[in-house]
Amino acid sequence: MRAKITYLVTAAVLVFYFVLVGSRGVMLIQSGTLLTVTFGVAVLVLPVIGVWFLWKNTQFVRKANQLAAELDTEGGLPADELRRLPSGRIDRDSADEVFVRRKAETEESPDDWRCWFRLAVAYHDARDTPRARKAMQRAIALHDGRPLGV
pLDDT along the chain (150 residues), means of 10: 88 94 94 93 93 94 94 85 82 84 92 93 89 95 78
pTM of the shown model: 0.78
* Closest C-alpha among 75, 150, 135 to residue 102: 135
- pLDDT for res 150: 46
Residue among 140, 118, 142, 129 at smallest CA distance from 66: 140
Residue 12's alpha-carbon distances to 9, 19, 47, 73, in angstroms, are 5, 11, 13, 31
d(CA 40, CA 123): 42
Please tell me the predicted confidence (pLDDT) of residue 149.
57
